[in-house]
Amino acid sequence: MKILIVGTLNGQVGAASQIAVKRGAKVIHTDNINEGLDTLRQGKGIDLVLVDIQLDIETFISNLNGERINTPVVACGVATDAKAAVRAIRAGAQEYLPLPPDAELIGAVLSAVAEESHAMIYHDPIMDDVVRLAKQIAPSDASVLITGQSGTGKEIMARFIHRNSRRKDGPFIAVNCAAIPENLLESELFGHEKGAFTGAVARRIGKFEEANNGTILLDEISEMDPRLQAKLLRILQEREIDRVGGKKPVPVNVRVLATSNRNMEQSVAKGEFREDLYFRLNVVNLQLPSLKERPKDVEILADHFIKKYAKANDMAERPLSPTALNKLLRHSWPGNVRELENTMHRAVLIAGPTEIGEEAIMLSGSPSAQPSADTGQATGNPGDFVGQTVADMERKLIIATLDHCLGNRTHAANVLGISIRTLRNKLKLYGDEGFNVPAAGGNG
C-alpha cells in the first residue's frame, strides 16, 4: 500500500510515517497541496492521502474531483480542532485522524482503505481444483475472468494469481468498476491530458499506465459502460491506451484480470455486455464456489477472523464454543465469506471474556440480528409487513443489512445484490427524508 502525506501534520510527519511503514505501507511526503496534486497526477499508485487539516483541504478535494482523481482522502489534525474536522468531512474527506498519531487508529484506517489480509485460506476439497488451476495459469499472461457470488473472495483470488505470476514484482492495481461513477471511470482507467475537459489542469496518468509491467484487476467488470467496453477491447487487442484528450496512443504491458458476480453469458445474451470483449477476457474462467458449497472452510475461516479482529481491537483471542460453531455450520451464508467475516468481527466485539458463545453469533435472518420496527428496520414477524409499501420494506431491508455489515457500504451492496452506486443513492434519499442511516464503516 502506498500513502501520500501532504503537509507537516503539526510536526508529526515522522511519527505517522514510521507507524504506516511498520504496518507495511510505503510513504511519500509532499509539503503542500500543489505538490500533492502533481504526485497524484504522475500515476505512482497512491492508495490513500493523509492531508494536514491546516491546509486548504476543500480546494485540494475540489481539484481531485475536477481532475477526476478518485483517491481516498483522510484529514489529520489536533484532536481539539473539531470545527476544522467537520469542514474537512463536509469537503469530502472520508475520515478524520486526530494527532498525535495513534498506531491503532492509523492501522484501522489503512485496513479500511485496503484490507490487509489477502491470504488464500481454505480446507474444503472443493477449493483444491480451483486453486490448482489458478496456480497453473498464473505464470502466463492470459486474461482471466473470475466469477462467483458476492463475497466469495474474487479479489483475493486475483491477488493470488498475481503473487504467483512472473509479474509478481510489478504493480497490482485494482479498480472497482461499480464503485466509480461512469463519468469518472474513463479518466480513472486511461488518464487524461491537460485541457481534455473542464478541470483537467494537468496530465493525469490512469490505472492502466500505473499497472504497466504488472497486473490490473477490473472488479465487477459487468457494471462497465458499453462505450468503455469498446475501449477496453481495443486495449486487449492492441496493447495500447488512449488518454482522454490524447493525440497518440500509449503502449502498455499489462495483464488483465476481471471479476463479476453475474452470469456473464446471460449479460451477453441480453446485450448488456459485448460478446467479443467477453471472449477476450474469458481466456480462463475461475468459478469460485459459495461458502455453502465449502462447509469445511467455515470453522477455519471463523478462526482466522477471530485472530484478525482480536488483534485489530487489542482484545484477547477467545475460542468458539461448540454451540456457537454449530450455529455457524447450520447457517446458509448468503453473503459468503464476507458475511462470515462481518459476523466474526461483531462476535469478537460483543462476546464474553472467556469464549465466543452462541449469543454473540448474530446472523442475517435470525431474530437477534434484526432490530425492531421502532428503529425503522424490519422484524421477523410476517404480520408486521401488512400495510407497508414496497418502498418501506426496501428501506428497512437496506438499513438492516447495512447495520449487519457494520456500516460497510461495499459489503452491504454485495449482500443486497445491488451496485454500490444504487446503494449510495438510496441512502442519500433516506438521509434527506430524515431516516437514521448507519454511519460508514470499513471500506464503506
Residue 73 pairs with which residues in a beta bridge? Answer: 49
Whole-angstrom distance, CA of residue 315 vs CA of residue 370: 26
Q: Which amino acid is at 239?
A: R
Cell numbers describing residue 89: 468531512
pLDDT digits (tens, 9 = 90+) for 203-226: 888 999 999 999 999 999 998 988
CATH number of this structure's domain 293-432: 1.10.8.60
The pLDDT score that the predictor gives to residue 357 is 94
Q: Which amino acid is at 117?
A: S
The pLDDT score that the predictor gives to residue 371 is 40
Whole-angstrom distance, CA of residue 263 vs CA of residue 268: 9
* Angle at alpha carbon of residue 28, lines to 24 and 33, rounded to 5°: 135
Whole-angstrom distance, CA of residue 263 vs CA of residue 3: 36
Q: Extract long-range pairs of 96-100: CB within 8 Å, 24+ residues apart.
A: 96/53, 97/50, 99/9, 99/10, 99/12, 99/16, 100/10, 100/12, 100/15
CB 189 within 8 A of CB 254: no
CA distances from 2 to 17, 58, 110, 164, 235 (A): 11, 23, 10, 21, 26
The pLDDT score that the predictor gives to residue 116 is 44
CB 60 within 8 A of CB 42: no
Torsion of CA 117, 119, 123, 129, to 10 degrees: 140
Residues in CB range of 89: below 8 A, 6 or more apart:
75, 96
Whole-angstrom distance, CA of residue 97 vs CA of residue 103: 11
CA distances from 57 to 15, 93, 169, 265, 439 (A): 21, 8, 34, 45, 22
Cell numbers describing residue 49: 492521502
Task: Residues 2-113: name the CATH superfamily.
Answer: Response regulator (3.40.50.2300)
Question: For the chain, how big is the Rg over CA atoms in Å?
Answer: 22
| Domains 2-113 and 126-289 in one fold | yes
- 250-251 vs 240-241, strand pairing mode: antiparallel
Produce one character per residue of 327-341: b if its CB has 16 or more CB atoms within 10 Å, e if not.
bbeebebbbbbbbbb
Residues in CB range of 382: below 8 A, 6 or more apart:
none
The pLDDT score that the predictor gives to residue 282 is 95
The burial class, CB within 10 Å (0-12 / 13-18 / 19+), for 283 is middle
Q: Could you read off the pLDDT tens digit of each residue along the chain, which spans 444 residues?
A: 788 999 887 778 777 788 877 777 788 999 999 999 999 888 777 888 999 888 999 899 888 888 878 788 888 887 666 777 788 888 888 788 887 777 777 766 666 555 444 668 888 999 999 999 999 999 999 999 999 998 899 999 999 999 999 998 899 999 988 878 777 898 889 999 998 888 888 888 899 999 999 999 999 999 898 889 999 999 999 999 999 898 899 999 999 999 999 899 999 999 999 999 999 999 999 999 999 999 999 999 999 999 888 887 778 899 999 999 999 999 999 889 989 988 998 899 888 899 999 999 988 654 444 443 334 444 444 445 555 677 777 888 888 888 877 777 877 777 777 777 788 888 888 887 778 888 776 545
100 preceded by a cis bond (ω within 30 of 0): yes
User: Domain 126-289: which CATH class?
Assistant: alpha beta
Domain ranges of the chain: 2-113, 126-289, 293-432
Torsion of CA 93, 119, 185, 60, to 10 degrees: 20
The burial class, CB within 10 Å (0-12 / 13-18 / 19+), for 404 is buried
Regarding pTM above 0.95, the answer is no
pLDDT digits (tens, 9 = 90+) for 254-284: 999 999 998 999 999 999 999 999 999 999 9
Cell numbers describing residue 416: 443486497
The pLDDT score that the predictor gives to residue 369 is 42
